[in-house]
Amino acid sequence: MLVAMKCFLLLLLAAAVSASAQTASSLPPGTHWVGSWASSQQIPEPRNTLPAADLTDATVRQIVHLSLGGDELRIRLSNAWGVRPLTFTAVHIAEPVALDSSAIVPATDAAVTFGGHASVTIPAGAEYVSDPVHFDAKPLSSLAITFYLKQPPARETSHPGARATTYYVHGEQVSAPELKDAGTVDHWFEISGVDVAAPRKDACIIALGDSITDGHATEDNKNQRWTDDLAARLQAHRQTRNLCVLNEGIGGNRLLQYGLGPAAAARVDRDVLAQAGARTVILLEGVNDIGVFGFHKNATPADHHALVERMIEADRQIIERAHEHGLRILGGTIMPFEGSGYYHPGPQEEADLAAVNAWIRTPGHFDGVIDFNKIMRDPAHPLRLNPKYDSGDHLHPGPAGYEVMANSIPLKMLLAK
């Protein structure tokens, strides 16, 4: 009798594990997971954090913009920069009423589980993927992700440059039709991705970059980044509707050193290679390396030459990592920034930029080149951004410039496998 009872309990345990595994990974034949939205994670600067009191017994609702649609989703939660485990007591998704509102469509509210459980504890340094959730998501639609925390993170994992409003209130209100009297910030917290179940032919393009990719100088809740414009352009053409765009830009990012967030060369594994359904990478980095180095007024020509060599080697390493994982990688030339109040570049910085761009343009390195420098520069003053596209700070394009960037990319370059 005892043996039979043990066997019965083992069968129950096996069935539970099997059911959990099926919930987490089973997909219909001919489909796979593809990233539809993503956000690079970093330790936020003090001015971009929420006080611990605001994240204690707190419901947080965040709006993200999907690229590809699907009827099954999974959510990625992140404690990548946490120093202690972080427990999410409940997580829900829903269709938002508007981009600039905490209101959701109640009929679309759906619970998100992890291994069949409503609550999940994520170890410090980790990111977790949810079970699949049945949800009708249209291409280029928005999604509200709401979670409840009893205790705040010991250190926040965030994406400060959300260009979107995040809402927070006290109490467990993950299914509330609206978070009334909510506090607001324009940063994302502890969310790093949304994947959709899609046909095998569907794939994503990953934009790895700095504040130009992150959409600096765009309006909040408008989705005006060049990656947003590119995603809309892909959906407008029948032959490219199977492609989506993931934005892995971080404001102030550099190739070589930690700036605001880890260096591009250090975040390739998490932000590129770990993304579901990745096929192509667009790399646009380097202006901050050159600009920050320009602060070293005692730097010699040899020092500048060494900087250029290190930047080229970082590009080489990123290319090699992409190719090892079967990804194509396109190089974006660094755009002009003469007149920028951030850096005040002089002749030596302009020479560094020209040297790196010459290497990017040289055949045999990248699988293709998007010459953003040529596209965005002022024909009359090639070291400056075209005034039609300049946000006004002479470093970042404005919305019109981002649209030009998106429209300049040959679609055939993105269709190649």
Q: Residue 147: what pLDDT?
A: 99
Give pLDDT tens digits for 165-189: 999 999 999 999 999 999 999 999 9
- For the cut 50, the answer to whether the pLDDT of residue 223 exceeds it is yes
What pLDDT was estimated at residue 244? Answer: 98
CA distances from 417 to 236, 274, 327, 342, 393 (A): 20, 19, 8, 39, 37
Q: In 107-119, which positions are buried (b, 16+ CB within 10 angstroms) versus exposed (e)?
A: ebbeebbbeeeee
Average the pLDDT over 133-140 and give the result. Answer: 98
Instruction: Specify whether the CB–CB gap between 143 and 64 falls below 8 A.
Output: yes
3-state secondary structure of 327: coil
Whether the Cβ atoms of residue 164 and residue 224 lie closer than 8 Å to each other? no
Instruction: Tell me which of 19-28, 56-65, 200-209, 211-220 is least confident.
Output: 19-28
Point out the least confidently predicted range of 10-24, 261-275, 393-407: 10-24
Query: Residue 341 burial (CB < 10 Å; 0-12/13-18/19+)?
Result: exposed
Is the pLDDT score of 14 beyond 60?
Answer: no
The C-alpha atoms of residue 71 and residue 137 are separated, in whole angstroms, by 6
Averaged pLDDT for residues 231-258:
98
DSSP annotation string for 72-98 = EEEEEEE-TT-SS-EEESEEEEE-BS-
In the prediction, which pLDDT does 25 show? Answer: 54
Classify residue 64 as exposed, middle or buried by CB count within 10 Å of its CB (0-12, 13-18, 19+).
Answer: buried
Tokens of 26: 């089973």
Q: If residue 135 lies in a helix (H) or strand (E), which one and from where to where?
A: strand 133-137
For residue 9, pLDDT over 60 is answered with no
pLDDT tens by residue, 320-374: 999 999 999 999 999 999 999 999 999 999 999 999 999 999 999 999 999 999 9
Q: How crowded is residue 160: how many other Cβ atoms within 10 Å of its Cβ?
A: 23
Tell me what pLDDT residue 416 has: 86
Give the pLDDT of residue 259: 86
Task: Kindly provide the residue ranges of all beta strands, DSSP E only, lying in 200-242, ordered along the sequence.
Answer: 203-209
The 3-state secondary structure of 161-184, one letter per residue? CCCCCEEEEECCCCCCCCCCCCEE
Structure letter (DSSP) for residue 44: P
Instruction: Look at the pTM and tell me if it is higher than 0.95.
Output: no
Which tens digits make up the pLDDT trace of 275-289? 999 999 999 999 999
Residues 295 and 345: their CA atoms lie apart, in Å, by 9
Residue 94 is predicted with a pLDDT of 99
**pLDDT at residue number 216:** 98
Q: How far apart are the first and last CA of the chain?
A: 60
Q: How far apart are CA 220 and CA 324, in angstroms?
A: 37
| pLDDT, tens digit (0-9, with 9 covering 90-100), for 89-119 | 999 999 999 999 999 999 999 999 999 999 9
- CA dihedral for 376, 379, 382, 386, sign (positive or negative): negative
> Which residue would you say has higher pLDDT here, 363 or 4?
363
**Per-residue tokens: 131:** 């079970």
The β-bridge partners of 246 are 206
Quick one: DSSP state of residue 298?
T
Q: What is the mean pLDDT of residues 135-140?
A: 98
Q: What is the pLDDT of residue 10?
A: 38
Determine the pLDDT at residue 26.
Answer: 74
Of the chain, the percentage scoring pLDDT greater than 70 comes to 94
Q: Is 194 helix (H, G, I), strand (E, B) or coil?
A: strand
3-state secondary structure of 294: coil
Q: Are strands 328-332 and 278-284 parallel, antiparallel or unpaired?
A: parallel
> In terms of Cα–Cα distance, which of 272, 352, 339 is closest to 310?
352
pLDDT (tens digit per residue) in 206-215: 999 999 999 9
Residue 410's contacts (CB-CB under 8 Å, 6 or more residues apart) are none
The closest alpha carbon to 194, from 230, 246, 153, belongs to: 246
Query: Is the pLDDT score of 272 beyond 70?
Result: yes
pLDDT recorded at residue 417: 80
The overall average pLDDT reported for the chain is 94
- Which residues pair with residue 183 across a beta bridge? 168
